[in-house]
Amino acid sequence: MLVLTRKIEQSIAVGGATGFERLLKITVLAIGNGNVRLGFEVDASVPIHRWEVWQRILTESQREKPAEDLGVLSAQ
């Protein structure tokens, strides 16, 4: 895990270099009351989710896939 320290209005860029198609810009908008408010700028085609939402989406999509898509072979 990479840990960076940023102040309000400072940003972090993810991707956008050689070999990466998209750039994700994360900006610290506010800090206070035990919370950090972040702003995310990226192409509209790139989904951004809170971690727990992403895990739920992943779990639900795996449940909906047929056995063949999950690499499980059925007996014939």
How far from the centroid of its chain's Cα atoms is residue 62's Cα? Answer: 18
Q: Are 28 and 36 contacting, i.e. CB atoms less than 8 angstroms apart?
A: yes
Question: Facing residues of 24 across strands?
Answer: 14
CB atoms within 10 A of CB 12: 13
**Max CA-CA distance within the chain?**
61
Q: What is the pTM of this model?
A: 0.65
Q: Any idea how long the chain is?
A: 76
Q: What is the pLDDT of residues 21-67, one digit of tens each?
A: 778 899 999 999 999 999 999 988 888 899 999 999 999 988 887 65
Once rounded to an integer, what is the mean pLDDT over residues 13-24?
Answer: 78
